[in-house]
Amino acid sequence: MKIVRIDTAHMRNEAHVEMYETIDALIKGKTPAALGITTEYNVFKGHYDQEVALLDLVLKSEYTKEIKDQDHRRDSVYRGVADAVKSGLNHFDADKQKAAEVVDAIFQHYGNIASRSFDEETAAIDDLLRELGYDPNEIITDNNPSSLNPAITALGLLKWLDELYFANQQFKSLMEARYGELAKRPSAQMRATRLDVDRAFRDIVVRLEALILIQGESAYADFVDELNAIITRYKNILAQQAGMRKAKKTDM
C-alpha cells in the first residue's frame, strides 16, 4: 500500500495551504498517536502553522485591494477595446469592416487576455500593443506618419489603446510596489516555509509506509484511501492547470 506523491512546485500558495489543511484535519480526525506519527506530525504542524501565518500576511497586504481594483479596471478597458473591434465587424462602411477584420485577427491570436493570471495578462497586453504598432511616446503629425496598424486609425481606436496602455502601466507600478513591500516582510519566507512543510509531510509518509509494512495494511487502509483521494484531487487540479498553460502557449 503506497501513498500518492505530489510535486507542489507549481501549486499556488492558497492551494498549497488548502491541501495541507485538509490533510491536517484528516490526521487529527484519526489522531497522530493512533497513527503512530506523533513526532513527525508535530514537526509538520509547526511548519504548517507558520505557512498559514505567512499567507495571511500576504493576503492582507495593503496593496492587495488596489491591485485587484486596477486589474478589474484594465480588464474593463481591454474588453472595451475588444467590443469596439467586434462592433466594427458589423459596420455599415465596408472599409471599416475590413479594418475590424484585420484587428480582430490579432485579438483572436491572444485569446481572452482578461482571464489570464496577473503577470501573464500584463505581458500579453504589452505584446498586443506592440503588435498593433502602438507607441505611447509617438507624436503623430502629417510629416511623421504613425507606426500604428492603419486599421487602428481607421477604427478610431487610438484613445482606447492609450487607456489600455496606462491601465497596464499603473498595474505594473502597483505590483512592483507590492513586491518591494513583500521583500521586507516575513511573507518573503513563503517559498522556504512551503519546502519545510513538504519535507515534513514526506517524513510522515515515510513513517506511515514503514508502519504499514510492519503492522499490516488493515489498520491503515481507510486512512490511506482518504489521504490518497485528497492528494489525487490536487494532482488532477495541477494537471488541468498545466494543460491550460500549455494550450495558451500553443495558441500564442
Output the pLDDT for position 146: 61
- Provide mean pLDDT across the span 171-191: 72
Q: Which of 8-17, 29-38, 110-119 has the highest mean pLDDT?
A: 29-38
Same domain, 132 and 171: yes
Q: For residue 119, tell me if it sits in a domain.
A: yes
Full residue range of the structural domain in which residue 46 is found: 13-60+186-251
Residue 41 predicted with pLDDT over 90: yes
- Provide mean pLDDT across the span 6-12: 90
Residue 139 predicted with pLDDT over 90: no
Residue 40 predicted with pLDDT over 60: yes
Contact predicate 194/8, CB 8 Å: yes
Q: For residue 2, tell me if it sits in a domain.
A: no
Q: Record the pTM.
A: 0.53
The pLDDT-based confidence of 22 (bands split at 50, 70, 90) is: very high
Comparing 121 with 117, the larger pLDDT belongs to 121
Residue 34 predicted with pLDDT over 60: yes
Residue 61 predicted with pLDDT over 70: no
Helices and strands (DSSP H and E) totals, the chain: 10, 0
Q: For residue 71, tell me if it sits in a domain.
A: yes
What is the phi/psi pair of residue 137, to 5°?
Answer: -95, 0
DSSP code, position 50 = H
Output the pLDDT for position 137: 77
The pLDDT-based confidence of 190 (bands split at 50, 70, 90) is: confident
Q: For residue 151, tell me if it sits in a domain.
A: yes
Grid coordinates given for 145? 506618419
Q: For residue 4, tell me if it sits in a domain.
A: no
Q: For all residues of the chain together, what is the average pLDDT?
A: 87
Output the pLDDT for position 250: 59
Any bridge partners for residue 141, and if so which?
144
Same domain, 206 and 112: no
Contacts of 193 (CB under 8 A, 6+ apart): 47, 50, 51, 54
Q: Which of 35-39, 64-68, 184-188 has the highest mean pLDDT?
A: 35-39
Burial (0-12, 13-18, 19+ Cβ within 10 Å), 141: exposed
Q: For residue 51, tell me if it sits in a domain.
A: yes
Last residue of a domain, one of 168, 183, 198: 183
Q: For residue 160, tell me if it sits in a domain.
A: yes
Last residue of a domain, one of 143, 167, 183: 183
Same domain, 194 and 176: no
Total domains, the chain: 2
Q: For residue 138, tell me if it sits in a domain.
A: yes
Same domain, 50 and 95: no
Output the pLDDT for position 63: 65
Q: How far apart are CA 188 and CA 174, in angstroms?
A: 17
Helix (H) or strand (E) holding 70: helix 64-88
Residue 141 predicted with pLDDT over 70: no
Same domain, 245 and 200: yes
Output the pLDDT for position 68: 87
